[in-house]
């Protein structure tokens, strides 16, 4: 009987140590890959989207680190050119946010879709999960352009079976008080709104990565 009790205690200790080791190894490494909206254009250090998102997730007990790989002015063509070396091999997942500058420059949506398609394929080929972040064409580009541009994110998400957050600037784009004087980029309060709205989707995304890593 004493042997059984001792064996049980030993098993509990081993399980606890194993669980502790696994828990410590559960930090999920994400990369926020995008343009100035991701980079934190004209915002103080620490006020960018990846930094504030990481803080919000950690506050909710989600063990995650997020690297800011946003480059102001980047297009999907620029992103495709740097995707391989900007995303380290130990990355678990990428929050892929590009396309706003394509729309502002009137780049054919078909080209943007092709570039994003290749980026997703390259990341997944490396075993890296993707959360695709959608954008919408500005009104001044006209309805024809919008009808060609806006659906590409949903199409790509369905094609590759990746998670999609439909619109990065949700809750901010129509509120001047949440944007910088240029009327396009979010200010610190705007980033807070973006983080609050997107946090549930990222938490779900991290959860799918964690379940695969187990």
Q: Identify the CATH number of the domain in which residue 123 sits.
A: 3.40.50.1110
pLDDT at residue 170 in the model: 97
The structural domain count of the chain equals: 1
pLDDT at 6 over 50: no
208 — pLDDT class (breaks 50, 70, 90): very high
pLDDT at 185 over 80: yes
Prediction pTM value: 0.87
12 — pLDDT class (breaks 50, 70, 90): very low
pLDDT at 24 over 70: no
pLDDT at residue 16 in the model: 43
- Domain limits for position 53: 27-213
Tell me, yes or no, whether 7 lies in a domain: no
Tell me, yes or no, whether 195 lies in a domain: yes
Tell me, yes or no, whether 3 lies in a domain: no
Tell me, yes or no, whether 1 lies in a domain: no
Tell me, yes or no, whether 16 lies in a domain: no
26 — pLDDT class (breaks 50, 70, 90): confident
Where does residue 183 fall: left (phi above 0), alpha (psi -120 to 50 degrees), or beta otherwise?
left
Tell me, yes or no, whether 12 lies in a domain: no
Catalytic amino acids?
36, 182, 185
């Amino acid at each position: 009987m004493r042997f059984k009790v001792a064996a049980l205690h030993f098993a509990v200790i081993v399980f606890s140590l194993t669980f502790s080791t696994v828990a410590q190894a559960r930090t999920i490494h994400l990369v926020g890959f995008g343009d100035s909206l991701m980079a934190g254009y004209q915002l103080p250090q620490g006020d960018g989207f990846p930094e504030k998102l990481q803080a919000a997730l950690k506050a909710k007990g989600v063990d995650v680190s997020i690297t800011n790989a946003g480059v102001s002015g980047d297009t999907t063509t620029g992103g495709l050119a740097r995707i391989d070396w900007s995303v380290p091999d130990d990355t678990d997942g990428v929050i892929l946010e590009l396309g706003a500058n394509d729309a502002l420059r009137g780049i054919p949506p078909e080209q943007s879709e092709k570039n994003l398609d290749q980026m997703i394929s390259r990341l997944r080929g490396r075993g890296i999960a993707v959360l695709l972040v959608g954008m919408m064409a500005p009104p001044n580009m006209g309805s024809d352009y919008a009808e060609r541009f806006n659906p590409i994110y949903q199409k790509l998400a369905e094609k590759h079976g990746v998670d999609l957050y439909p619109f990065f600037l949700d809750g901010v784009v129509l509120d001047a008080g949440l944007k910088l004087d240029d009327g396009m980029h979010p200010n610190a309060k705007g980033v807070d709104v973006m983080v609050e709205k997107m946090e549930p989707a990222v938490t779900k995304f991290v959860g799918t990565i964690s379940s695969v890593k187990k």
